[in-house]
Amino acid sequence: MKSRMIAGASALALAATLSACSSGTAEAGGTTTIDVWLMRDSVSEDFQTTFEREFEAEHPDIDAKIQIQEWDGIGEKVVAALASNDPPDIIEIGNSQMPQYSQSGGLLDLSDKVDDLGGEEWIPGLADPAVWDGKTYGVPYYAANRVVIYNKTLFEAAGIDAGSITTRDQWIAATTALNSGDIQGIYLPGQSWHALAGFTWDEGGTFASQDGENWTGTLDTPEAMAGMKFYAQLQALGNGPKDSDVASPPQTDIMASGDVAQIISAPGGARSVIAANPELEGKLGFFPIPGKTADTPGAVYVGGSELVIPAASDAPEAAYTFIKALSGEKWQRKLAAAMGYVPNKPSLADAVADDPGAAAMAVAGTQNGHSTPIAPGWAAVEAQNIIHDYMTAVLTGGDPAEEAQKASDEITRAMNQAS
């Protein structure tokens, strides 16, 4: 779920280590052993134990060895694994990382499996990054996106029904009414580019467009600039800093003070707020980021993961059997309910109906979820903080058109150089 640049400098050095420590695929008594890398917080210990037990009971010829990996340093480790002759048989990969790995030639082409998996139903925010050069290399695993977390007490005091907020205009009106005295209608720092992405997509814009093998930054288009204009309007209804992101300081700590009516966050942010201020237990609610009209929720950036099979796997058929089970309806429903994630198909979203945060998340994630530009060069845009710098420049008084043109030029350069 995290966007990481792939670090390949020490891939060859790690490859030897991986080959030495990986159990690989073994044939013993007709049983095929597969090594599976899942990421930290992808599954709980209970879910993992239950899935392994039931999967192996249904497939006694497969012995699945699940190893939990840490996000920090995973890019380098995956590069090394794909360069080795003894990689794990299945790897969980963040969806924003897919373009880098797909173009490497180290992943198995799964295009002929899409129909078997019901891929026509996959949510676009996961399905799109799994495709490279017309071929599908990843199977959508789970998704997550941002919602509005709100303080019920402050909404009630202002006489505002959060359930009635379904459009941007209603959201602005409610936030304006909440923003009085010591109360911030919303805490929105100046560099929350994931929120900007949603507003930009709602306006019909994007960050970059592709023409053949070349990319062009598009923050200077009227549509993208309209997204930034709305962001600035919303950001002004609070006291969020214009030169930092949601982590500096942690926006959940700011909301924990009790005088912030709303933040834009993944639902899990509510747990952090309550951990910082237990008195807010039971006083936080969720609703989808509103869209321009009530017919469609606001667009959101969908983070999440894909399941891939390295091309050098010794047991691709057994690996596919594992992936088909974990990405299928039965276990998608169980995973969504257990972990509070958005399942990989809209038809399964009712699995989180009893979880207010996940249910709000699933509304936009399944109906209006998007991905960032599907190109290896996008990682360079994030690493260089191009969009962060652009947002701060506009919010601190820079000419919107000039700053948008400057940022677009930098995106063009970064994406084409990296690609």
**pLDDT tens digits for range 111-168:** 999 999 999 999 999 999 999 999 999 999 999 999 999 999 999 999 999 999 999 9
Let me know if residue 230 belongs to a domain: yes
Residues 202 and 233 placed together within one structural domain of the fold: yes
pTM of the model: 0.89
CA distance 43 to 51: 10
Q: Would you say the C-alpha torsion 232, 235, 240, 246 has a positive or negative sign?
A: negative
Residues 236 and 255 placed together within one structural domain of the fold: yes
Full domain range(s) for residue 275: 147-301+374-418
Residues 349 and 336 placed together within one structural domain of the fold: yes
Let me know if residue 85 belongs to a domain: yes
Q: Kindly report the average pLDDT of the chain as a whole number.
A: 92
Where among 347, 370, 393 does a domain terminate?
A: 370
Instruction: Provide the CATH number for the domain around residue 387.
Output: 3.40.190.10
pLDDT for res 29: 58
Where among 370, 389, 409 does a domain terminate?
A: 370
Residues 294 and 189 placed together within one structural domain of the fold: yes
- Burial bucket for residue 129 (CB in 10 Å: 0-12, 13-18, 19+): buried
Q: How many domains in the chain?
A: 2
C-alpha distances in Å from residue 200, one per residue of 215, 298, 300, 353, 375: 18, 10, 10, 29, 19
C-alpha distances in Å from residue 21, one per residue of 24, 40, 88, 312, 409: 9, 20, 11, 16, 45
pLDDT at 4 over 80: no
Q: What is the mean pLDDT of residues 221-248?
A: 97
Let me know if residue 391 belongs to a domain: yes
Residues 51 and 97 placed together within one structural domain of the fold: yes
Let me know if residue 6 belongs to a domain: no
Taking only the tens place, the pLDDT of each residue in 207-218 is 999 999 899 999
Residues 197 and 346 placed together within one structural domain of the fold: no
Let me know if residue 2 belongs to a domain: no
Residues 342 and 220 placed together within one structural domain of the fold: no
- Burial bucket for residue 55 (CB in 10 Å: 0-12, 13-18, 19+): middle
> How big is the chain by its Cα radius of gyration, in Å?
22
Residues 152 and 139 placed together within one structural domain of the fold: no
CA geometry: angle 255, 195, 180, nearest 5 deg: 40
Q: What is the mean pLDDT of residues 58-63?
A: 97
CA geometry: angle 376, 198, 261, nearest 5 deg: 130
**CA end-to-end span of the chain:** 22
Task: Write the DSSP symbol of residue 290.
Answer: P
Let me know if residue 232 belongs to a domain: yes
Taking only the tens place, the pLDDT of each residue in 253-310 is 999 999 999 999 999 999 999 999 999 999 999 999 999 999 999 999 999 999 999 9
Whether the CB-CB separation of 418 and 377 falls below 8 Å is answered with: yes
Q: Is 210 strand, coil or helix?
A: strand
Let me know if residue 4 belongs to a domain: no
Residues 86 and 168 placed together within one structural domain of the fold: no
Residues 283 and 388 placed together within one structural domain of the fold: yes
Whether the CB-CB separation of 365 and 292 falls below 8 Å is answered with: no
Residues 307 and 296 placed together within one structural domain of the fold: no
Let me know if residue 3 belongs to a domain: no
Residues 296 and 321 placed together within one structural domain of the fold: no
